[in-house]
Amino acid sequence: MDPSPSATPIPPHGRIGPNAIIRVIDALRTTIGETACARIVEEAGLATYLDQPPQAMVDETEVARLHGALRANLDRETAEAVCRDAGEATAGYLLANRIPAAAQSVIKLLPPGLGSRALLAGIGRHAWTFAGSGQFTIRHGTPLVLSIAHCPLCHALAGHAPACSYYAATFEGLYRVLISPHARVREIACQAAGAPACQFAVTWTRAASAP
């Protein structure tokens, strides 16, 4: 997720912000160590990024290969931890560098339901930076559901268990800072497990209510 702070040109298809690679490699290093991290990144064909992290949009197939390689080489619990750490770091990066402080202040002052809509308006405008060639949609209700059809993280994971905790953690990180510390985002359907789209249920109160 790398929304630009200025007007967005017509996006190229199939390219994603570099956080989907940078933060995953960082999380791999922290969780399993440099040697094991290098082995997974090299298996994904991305060894160059170990010393020179990408500084611009990357091909979504590179992201798919990295997420596929980590899922293939790590047990589910460790893979989930890596992806969640990477997603949380991505949310932190967006809050520090991509979402203007003034906009954050306005969102925080709004009632949660309105703040959520304002946040999602911005996410939707820049969805191409994290969904690539996929299609991002929003379904307001109880719960609020975010969907990514043709999810780029699942390209190499057909038949696997749900595999988009990176996205879930990124959304949750944004919601917990801007909407409510009680926010929770759960993946409730995943293309990697046979669903037609990856879906994320968003709640932000202990009563699990949404607009």
Q: What is the pLDDT of residue 206?
A: 66
The residue extents of the domains of the chain are 15-203
pLDDT, mean of residues 88-104: 97
For residue 138, pLDDT beyond 70 = yes
Decide which of 160 and 183 is more confident.
Answer: 183
| pTM, 2 dp | 0.90
Q: What is the pLDDT of residue 211?
A: 47
161 falls in which pLDDT band (50, 70, 90)?
A: confident
pLDDT, mean of residues 195-199: 95
Residue at 200: amino acid letter: F
Decide which of 187 and 8 is more confident.
Answer: 187
Over residues 52-62, the pLDDT tens digits come to 999 999 999 99
Residue at 209: amino acid letter: S
Q: Which long-range contacts (CB under 8 A, 24 or more apart) does 44-53 make?
A: 44/68, 44/69, 46/21, 49/21, 49/22, 49/25, 50/25, 53/18, 53/21, 53/22, 53/25
Tokens found for residue 14: 């199939």
**CB-CB neighbours of 206 under 10 Å:** 9
Tokens found for residue 61: 């197939």
**CB-CB neighbours of 35 under 10 Å:** 8
For residue 167, pLDDT beyond 80 = yes
Q: What is the pLDDT of residue 10?
A: 37
Alpha carbon of residue 84 to chain centroid: 9
Most confident by average pLDDT, 7-21, 68-82, 155-169: 68-82
Decide which of 207 and 133 is more confident.
Answer: 133
In this structure, which topology does domain 15-203 adopt according to CATH? H-NOX domain (3.90.1520)
Q: Helices in 7-126 by DSSP H: which ranges?
A: 19-32, 34-43, 48-51, 60-73, 76-97, 101-109, 112-125
Residue at 53: amino acid letter: P
Q: Which of 134, 192, 199 is nearest to 158 (CA)?
A: 192
For residue 11, pLDDT beyond 80 = no
For residue 21, pLDDT beyond 90 = yes
| 208 Ramachandran zone, left/alpha/beta (phi>0; psi -120 to 50) | left
